[in-house]
Amino acid sequence: MLSPPIPNNESQRLKALEEANILYSPTEEEFDNITQLASFICQTPISLISLVGEHEQWFKSKYGTDMCTSERDISFCSHAILEPEQLMEIEDTRLDNRFLDNPFVLADTDPIIYYAGMPLKNFDNMVLGTLCVIDTKPNKLNQEQKKALKSLAKQVEILLELKRKNDYLENIKKQLNEHNAMLKDFAGVVSHDMKMPLANMIITADILKAKFGNKLGEEGLDYLKNLKQAGLKLSSYINGILDHYESDNIAASNNEEFDVHQLLEEIIDLLNITEDCVINLPEDNTIISSNRAALEQIFLNLLGNSLKYNDKDKIVIDIEFSQNPDFYYFSIQDNGIGIPKEKEDDIFKLFTTVAKSDRSGNKGNGIGLSTVKRLVGNLGGNLKVNSEIGEGTRFDFSIRRKA
C-alpha cells in the first residue's frame, strides 16, 4: 500500500476547507439526494461525499454505509484529490499497487474492490474532497455514467459555494443586527436623557417671556422665540427617533377589534387641526381586527404630512378603505404640494426630506415616512406613493389580516 502524498498547496487547501464551514456539519437533504442519485446512476451500492481533512476524511453525505470517517493515510479520496481535474477510477483495487493491501480492500465484509471519485473544488479552485462511488466487486463506468458523476460533483460544488455564501451573509446579518441593537439602545438612552433638559429649556423660555418680556425688548423676545422653536424642533426630532425605533415593538403588539371611523376620528382629534380642513372618512364604517397601535402611528404620520405639506387655502383629505380575505387596504389622498417623481423613492429613507419647509415654515426631520414604511412592512403589507406637483399626494398601504 502506498500512502497518498501531501499536495503542494496543502496549507491553503486546509484553510479553504475550514472557511467552507462544512466539516462535521449536520446531514442535509440536498447532499444526501446527490449521493443517492450517484449510486443509482453508477449502479454501485455505496456513494460518498468525502471531505479530506488534515488527518482524516469525513463524509458529509453517505449512501449504503454507516461509516462516518476514516484515516486519511488509507483513504482512496486522498489519492483522488491529487488530480483535481480528473475522475479517478480503479476498476479492481486488488490489482493497484497503491491499494492492494489497503485495510478496506482486505476487509472480510464489504471490501472496497471498485472506486471512482471526482474531486470537489471550491470557488478558488482548492480541492476539498470528492464525490465517489464504491463497489464490493470489480466494476467500470461507461462514458455516460462518468459524465453524470462529474455533473453531480459540479452540483455538490454549487451547494458548497451556496452554503459558504449563505453562512457569510448570516454572519453579516448577525453583525448588522447587533450593531442596530446597539444603535437602537444608544438612540433610546440619549433621546430619553435629552427630553427633560429640552422640556426645561422650552418652559424656561416661556417663563422668561412672561416675567421679563417688557424688559427684553423686541430683539430679546426674538431670541427667546428662536430658542423655544429650536427646543420644540429638537424635541420633535427626538420623539421621531423614539417612534422609529419603537416601531418594531409597536408592530409586535396584539390585534384587537375596533371600527375604522372611531380610530380615524380619535386621530383627527389628536392632530388638533386649526386650518380650514375637510377630512372625508371611508364611506362605510367597518369593524376590523388588526394592530390598532401600529395603525394609529401610521395614520398620525400620513395625516400629519397631508396637513403640514399643503399650500392650499382649504385642505382636503380623502381616506378610503377596502378589504379582501387576506389584506386590509387603506389610502390617503390630499390636495397638497405634491412630491417630484424622481424623489418618490427617497421620501421613505431615514432622515431624508424633500420639501424645504412645511406649511408653517418648519423643515421636517425625515423620520415619519421611514417609520410608516417600517411599520407597514412589519405588518406584512406594502406601501406606495403616487403624487403630482401642485395637485397632491396619494399613499396606499396594505395590512395583512391575521387568521
Task: Summarize pLDDT for 282-298 with one digit per residue, the tens.
Answer: 988 899 998 888 888 88
Choice among 49-63, 113-127, 174-188 with the minimum mean pLDDT: 174-188
- For residues 88 and 141, what is the distance between their CA atoms, to the nearest angstrom? 11
Residue 106 contacts by C-beta under 8 Å, 6 or more apart in sequence? none
Q: Stretch 199-220: mean pLDDT, rounded? A: 82
pLDDT tens digits along 173-203: 888 877 777 666 666 666 666 666 777 777 8
With cut-offs at 50, 70 and 90, classify the pLDDT of residue 399: very high
With cut-offs at 50, 70 and 90, classify the pLDDT of residue 249: low
pLDDT tens digits along 329-342: 999 999 999 998 88
What pLDDT does residue 200 have? 77
What pLDDT does residue 374 have? 87
Q: Is 343 left (phi over 0), alpha (psi -120 to 50) or beta?
A: alpha
CB 330 within 8 A of CB 204: no
What pLDDT does residue 209 have? 83
Choice among 15-29, 295-309, 360-374 with the minimum mean pLDDT: 360-374
With cut-offs at 50, 70 and 90, classify the pLDDT of residue 364: low
Residue given cell 463506468 in the structure block: 141
Residue 367 contacts by C-beta under 8 Å, 6 or more apart in sequence? 237, 240, 241, 243, 244, 350, 351
With cut-offs at 50, 70 and 90, classify the pLDDT of residue 148: very high
77: nearest Cα among 118, 113, 114: 118
Report the first-to-last Cα separation within the chain, whole angstroms: 67
Which amino acid is residue 133, in one-letter code? V
With cut-offs at 50, 70 and 90, classify the pLDDT of residue 345: confident
The string over 70-88, giving b where at least 16 C-beta atoms fall within 10 Å of a residue's C-beta and e elsewhere, is bebebbbbbbbbeeeeebb
Q: Stretch 238-254: mean pLDDT, rounded? A: 62
pLDDT beyond 90 at 119:
yes
What pLDDT does residue 218 have? 84
Q: Stretch 314-324: mean pLDDT, rounded? A: 94
pLDDT tens digits along 253-268: 678 899 999 999 988 8
With cut-offs at 50, 70 and 90, classify the pLDDT of residue 59: very high
Q: Which helix (H) or strand (E) holds 362?
A: none
Rounded to the nearest integer, the mean pLDDT of the chain is: 87
Name the pTM for this structure: 0.53
| Domains within the chain, CATH numbers bracketed | 10-169 (3.30.450.40), 252-400 (3.30.565.10)
